[in-house]
Amino acid sequence: MITLSNVSKSFRTSKGTVHAIQDVSLEVKLGEIFGVIGYSGAGKSTLIRCVNLLEAPTSGSVVIQGKEVTNLPAEELMQVRRKIGMIFQGFNLLKTATVYDNIAIPLRLTDVDKNEIDGRVTKYLRIVGLEDKHDAYPSQLSGGQKQRVAIARALAQEPELLLSDEATSALDPETTESILELLLKINAELGITIMLITHEMNVIQKICDRVAVMENGRVIELGKTVDIYAQAKHPTTRRFVNSTYHKELPPSLLQELKETGPVVRLSFVGGSTSKPVLAQVSALFPVSPNILAGGIIQLKQEKIGTLVVHLNGDPEETKKAIAYLEDQGVKVEGVEVGDE
Amino acid sequence: MSEIQQFIEGRLPIIGESVVQTLQMVSVSLAISVLIGLPLGILLILTRPGNALENRIVYQVLNVFVNIVRSIPFIILLFFILPFTKLIVGTSIGIKGAIVPLIVHAAPSIARLMENALVEVDSGVIEAYRSMGIRTRHIIWHVMLREARPTIILGLTIAVINLVGATAMAGLVGAGGLGDLAYRFGHLRYEVDVMYVTVFILILMVQCLQSIGNKLAAKYKKD
Ligand SMILES: Nc1ncnc2c1ncn2[C@@H]1O[C@H](COP(=O)(O)OP(=O)(O)O)[C@@H](O)[C@H]1O
Ligand SMILES: [Mg+2]
């Protein structure tokens, strides 16, 4: 669907050149939800804006559905953009237009058949669940409702691809949840490929098939969401993954427990039951595992079970126990004071 | 009683005529100033750094031109551009002769107020429309001007009121109008009642314009 090859973008500013993205190559496959995560300033917005050429890459190529789109003449670029929907953190609706007009005006301006417009507006307002808000103005809507209007506006163009620049970042957790569900539905039922960027791991966790992690303008890790959860390599990626776990233990308790053995987080892909392995540990080694906390993280496709366990025993033996657990395919990670 | 009657019979026609002259000067010069100022304002926006037609030279030239004209007091402008006025309308006196300087006076201000109103339009919305593959001229009309409407209306209200004030000086080139009337009767002939009535009409006019402007702006403002 989208192939970025060695895309770089620099901005010349009065303070010198900013390399916003550097040599990024990635592919977004037809029908998937692809996430890009990174901290503020990592270059995510610049990257997604290079896809629809709101920002022209300094170098590299952007291919959308087999078509190279950098260096297209203005008229052709416009036609390409009409097949790519985009939603934003700030919704970007016309304040002076009703919900209905917010969706209808772009249709009128993109040469959609007049007789078709009313049907489209109604259809997509129903899909986003705002069929009773035709005549409301954006100022009368909540943030979540505004984003739904923006989504309906994007969908009404009947795009094959939807780009989302932090679409849930201005919303509270519950509203975020409902917008994410809407995006899942759009992806599943309308077959629209989605590329989204975010700084929130729970967005990746809930809806992304694959994810790229960005830092300082580069992609530092890329893979299936489940693999990133199970075996994140880069420290930044691990911080993002850890951010989805609850802060379970008071630091004072952790400090105290560490005197009698390490505290570790065990992750099991697929939520496979953990008890046999832990029972084995206590049978095989003079170590008594003590479960402190546990939970299941629901990814888009799979589940990941996690347990925080205190391994009570002497250092030599707990080390062996950890090696054994890893042998059994369990991901083991030390829990430190001050971890997120 | 008879004094009032006498006043009405004697002076009302002149006052009425002056009102018409003022309205003529204000409306014609406003209409033409908007026709000049609006595109100029849009050009100022589009040639700004980072915008669709970014062009530093055009922007700076326009910018300086607008500033220079705006800094000349109308009374000076009126005489300063006499030859230009004569060139354009063939005369430098009467209503025709006043309208040219009124336009030269008002158009740059209107350009500036358009620029200020348009620059306040949320750049995110403009970007959203760009991302949908919508033409720049459609974005100007359907996004920028539309969203800026309340601010533009309020700005134009101030511009009209300034024009009413400027027309008062237009009497100096024999264009008549309320200001001229007040000056001739009140100052030169010491007929203060004419002056009071004129001032009262001017106040009424400005009040009406302001509340029409406020109402219209409120009508288009939806947030
Ligand atoms: N138009 C621009 N001009 C100059 N610098 C920019 C511009 N856009 C982005 N940058 C810089 O590029 C870097 C990446 O920005 P951005 O892509 O917005 O990051 P993110 O979306 O991940 O927060 C930042 O250092 C930012 O300051
Ligand atoms: Mg961003």
| Reported pTM | 0.88
Q: Are residues A29 and A164 located together in one domain of the fold?
A: yes
Residue type present at position A34: F
Whole-angstrom distance, CA of residue B16 vs CA of residue B183: 16
Question: Please, are residues A161 and A192 in contact by the beta-carbon 8 Å criterion?
Answer: yes
Query: Band of the pLDDT at B186, cuts 50, 70, 90?
Result: confident
Would A140 be classed as within a structural domain?
yes
Phi, psi of A151 (to 5 degrees): -65, -45
Last residue of a domain, one of A214, A240, A266: A240
**Ligand minimally distant from the alpha carbon of residue A213:** 1
Last residue of a domain, one of A240, A270, A299: A240
Host H or E run for residue A4:
strand A2-13
Over residues B78-97, the pLDDT tens digits come to: 888 989 999 988 888 888 88
DSSP A107: H
Query: Band of the pLDDT at B196, cuts 50, 70, 90?
Result: confident
B150 CA: distance to closest CA in chain A (Å): 9
Q: Mean pLDDT in chain A?
A: 91
Q: Are residues A226 and A302 located together in one domain of the fold?
A: no
Could you state, in order of their start, the residue ranges of all structural domains in chain B?
3-222
Which ipTM did the prediction report? 0.87
**Ligand minimally distant from the alpha carbon of residue A90:** 2
Over residues B42-59, the pLDDT tens digits come to: 999 999 887 878 899 999
3-state secondary structure chain B: CHHHHHHHHHHHHHHHHHHHHHHHHHHHHHHHHHHHHHHHHHHHHHCCCCCCCCCHHHHHHHHHHHHHHHHCCHHHHHHHCHHHHHHHHCCCCHHHHHHHHHHHHHHHHHHHHHHHHHHCCCHHHHHHHHHCCCCHHHHHHHHHHHHHHHHHHHHHHHHHHHHHHHHHHHHHHCCCCHHHHHHHHHHHCCCHHHHHHHHHHHHHHHHHHHHHHHHHHHHHCCC
Q: Are residues A193 and A271 located together in one domain of the fold?
A: no
Q: What's A45's domain CATH number?
A: 3.40.50.300
A40: tokens are 């503020």
The rounded Å distance from CA A78 to ligand 2 centre is 23
Q: Are residues A157 and A256 located together in one domain of the fold?
A: no
Which pLDDT score, from 0 to 100, does residue A340 have? Answer: 43
- Structural domain that includes position A251: 247-334
SS3 A219: strand
Choose among B127, B138, B143: nearest Cβ to A94: B143
- Options 3.40.50.2000, 1.10.3720.10, 3.40.50.300, 3.90.1150.10; which CATH number does B3-222 get? 1.10.3720.10
Return the half-sphere exposure (C-beta side, CA atoms, 13 A cut-off) of residue B150.
Answer: 15
Q: Are residues A147 and A253 located together in one domain of the fold?
A: no
Last residue of a domain, one of A209, A240, A271: A240
Host H or E run for residue A78:
helix A74-81
Whole-angstrom distance, CA of residue A306 vs CA of residue A304: 7
* Total number of domains in chain A: 2
Pick from B196, B137, B135, B168: which is nearest to B21 by CA?
Answer: B168
Q: Are residues A127 and A258 located together in one domain of the fold?
A: no
What percent of chain A is predicted at pLDDT more than 90?
67
Would A339 be classed as within a structural domain?
no
Q: Are residues A252 and A233 located together in one domain of the fold?
A: no
Q: Are residues A220 and A254 located together in one domain of the fold?
A: no
Find the length of chain B.
223
Over residues B164-182, the pLDDT tens digits come to: 989 988 877 888 888 888 8
- Are A92 and B128 a contacting pair at CB < 8 A? yes
Other beta carbons within 10 angstroms of residue A6's beta carbon come to 12
Q: Are residues A49 and A181 located together in one domain of the fold?
A: yes
SS3 A268: strand
Name every chain B residue with its beta carbon within 8 A of the beta carbon of A110: 132-134
Question: Which residues touch A102 (CB under 8 Å, ≥6 apart)?
Answer: A93, A94, A138, A149, A153
Q: Are residues A315 and A179 located together in one domain of the fold?
A: no
Would A340 be classed as within a structural domain?
no
Q: What's A278's domain CATH number?
A: 3.30.70.260
Q: Are residues A187 and A306 located together in one domain of the fold?
A: no
Q: Are residues A187 and A63 located together in one domain of the fold?
A: yes
Would A329 be classed as within a structural domain?
yes
Q: For an interface test with A, which of B53, B129, B132 has the most A Cβ atoms less than 10 Å from its Cβ? A: B132
Pick from B70, B43, B213, B209: which is nearest to B140 by CA?
Answer: B43
- Are B132 and A94 a contacting pair at CB < 8 A? no
- Are B134 and A109 a contacting pair at CB < 8 A? yes
The rounded Å distance from CA A29 to ligand 2 centre is 22
